[in-house]
Structure 1
Amino acid sequence: MSTTLNMLSEDCISTILSLTSPPDACRFMLASSSLRSAAESDIVWGRFLPSDLPQLLSRTHTQLTFSSKKELFFRLCDSMLVDGGISTFALNKINGKKSYVLSAKALSISLINEANHWTWTTHSTSRFVEVIELKTISNLEIEGRIDTQDLSPNTTYGAYLIIKVSDHPFGLDSIPYETSISKHEYLVTNTAYLCPLDDQKQQFESLFFMNRRQMMEKRVVEGEGRRPSKRGDGWLEVEVGEFFVGEKSEFVKMSLIEVKGHQLKGGLIIEGIEIRPKC
């Protein structure tokens, strides 16, 4: 195949490779020295960059320097702060699709400005300057919004609440929470817990509140009862839901709400909500 390609001009080869994917282009760089220049060209990597690149770069927290569009692509694959540092943006290395993390400061959280209920703090493993920790509250509501024009079209996205549980949590796992994704006439609900199953303290608490929990679960919308899973960055994530981004621009609302519980709870640390491609 490389022999056949070598018969074509470099611009023609670059145009062909621009219709593939970033991993394909990288493989062609290694195929032969004659194909390397075409595979590294701005024609190829410019095609993998988002169409709203100028607007995106204007939102970055720091000045980016790059010598080629290939270098810029891989710079954008690393999570970078945007919108004054309250969100992060990154490209997927496999398909070039966009993802975001909305920090706690970019979310709407019940009683967020009440010092008796929440406290802003730093965390060594967070990508943001501050995260928020729950002291105590009886009714928890978390909501995030994003415009689909900021995402990649014709893509299914998942929304994930990024959290940690402190050393002394209470009341977080007595009942499931209702999660929902809504946009225009689209609404999908589910249920989720905020503590993983392997947390022994929370298992004890669940047993302690078992009768009350069984009663409350009957009032909550039916769902999977999703549990948090461990992330590569040391945090936990619980899936809020998924949605499809078409060509039309519209706002998506992602929420986690305590519906009927009103159980005092504390010890939850919230970093934000990640919106990333599922395929």
Structure 2
Amino acid sequence: MDADGSEISRLPAELLASIVSLTSPPDAGRCAAVSRAFLAAADSDAVWSCFLPRYLPQLAKSVLRRAPPSENKKGLFRRLSDQPALLPGKLVSMRLDRATGAKCYMLSARALNISKGETRSCWEWIDLCYDEFREAAQLRGVWSLEIRGKIHSRMLCRNSMYAAYMLFKLADGYTMMDFPFQEASISYGGTSSKRQVCLQAYMEDGDDGVPRKHILKSSWESRLPHSYCLTDDVMVPWKRAND
């Protein structure tokens, strides 16, 4: 046996790197604990070049200036997966999924098409000093709500499953987004998918311990009970883990 305590380290370094590159980024971290030989392979550019997307979008100059001059492929992957990186124009950000390396994008409010978004009586644009984006749209009051966003399919990774989410926050005490339900749709090429969504709802465990979806009682809809159970075909919002 060798100094690492196993015969595995006798394999050529190129073969070890080829083996590790067939796993995933989390598995590469686990492989690094096997032996010194695996550690060298798991940290090599040959492995992390396989985990990085084939085509990375152009990043904003401010993002490039923060990059260490001697950054390797593993460091680049970690940097892009730890925090979002702004693209030129600073209206779209991208990060890498830690488990798969797939590209995940976020559109700023300014990149969306918001109905009556420039009407001051309907929307107000507020500064965001703590976010990667500079502005957010704050709703004042509208009779109809329509928000559209689009992204080119060439920006995504092939053979990857994607989901679209809308990030929003309701003011404390606001109870006018529960009913009637809204319609959310996503289209790709010639296909389209539509779902009913309730923008103001919460999850609550029933008597049997099974979570059930409820909505609040609107001030203008007195016919609805205080806790109205929703069916499974109505989507409800979820709170982000870091909020």
Q: Please report the TM-score for the alignment, with normalisation by the length of structure 2.
A: 0.81
**What are the within-5 Å matches in structure 2 for residues 148-227 of structure 1?**
148-169=153-174, 171-197=176-202, 203-205=216-218, 208-211=220-223, 224-227=233-236
Query: Deviations for 1:5-46, whole angstroms, at most 9, x for unmatched residues?
Result: 322211221122111111121111111123211211100011
For 1:51, the aligned partner's letter is R
Which residue of structure 2 aligns with residue 12 of structure 1?
15
Which residue of structure 2 aligns with residue 22 of structure 1?
25
Contact 1:195 1:227 in 2 (8 A): yes
Contact 2:196 2:234 in 1 (8 A): yes
Which residue of structure 2 aligns with residue 62 of structure 1?
63
> Aligned match of 2:75 in 71, 78, 84?
71
Structure with more helix by fraction: 1
Deviation at 1:59?
4.5
For 1:154, the aligned partner's letter is N
1:62 alignment partner, SS class? helix
How many pairs does the alignment contain?
220
Runs of 4+ in 1 over 6 A off after TM superposition: none
Tell me the distance in 2 between the aligned counterparts of 1:147 and 1:104: 17
Contact 2:58 2:88 in 1 (8 A): no
Q: Please report the TM-score for the alignment, with normalisation by the length of structure 1.
A: 0.72
Tell me the distance in 2 between the aligned counterparts of 1:104 and 1:60: 21
> Aligned match of 1:48 in 48, 51, 56?
51
Deviation at 1:171?
2.7
Alignment partner of 1:228 is 2:243: no
Deviation at 1:123?
4.2
Deviation at 1:67?
2.1
Alignment partner of 1:31 is 2:44: no
| C-alpha distance 183-142 of structure 1, shift in aligned 2 (>3 A) | same
1:182 alignment partner, SS class? strand
Deviation at 1:197?
2.8
Tell me the distance in 1 between the aligned counterparts of 2:53 and 2:14: 21
| C-alpha distance 155-60 of structure 1, shift in aligned 2 (>3 A) | farther
Tell me the distance in 1 between the aligned counterparts of 2:199 and 2:130: 19
For 1:233, the aligned partner's letter is N
Q: Which has the greater radius of gyration?
A: 2
1:145 alignment partner, SS class? coil
Which residue of structure 2 aligns with residue 119 of structure 1?
124
1:73 alignment partner, SS class? helix
Unaligned stretches of 5+ residues in structure 1: 214-221, 235-279
Contact 1:180 1:187 in 2 (8 A): yes
For 1:46, the aligned partner's letter is S
For 1:148, the aligned partner's letter is S
Query: Deviations for 1:50-107, whole angstroms, at most 9, x for unmatched residues?
Result: 1113xx2444642123521111110110222223221211111111111111111111
Structure with more strand by fraction: 1
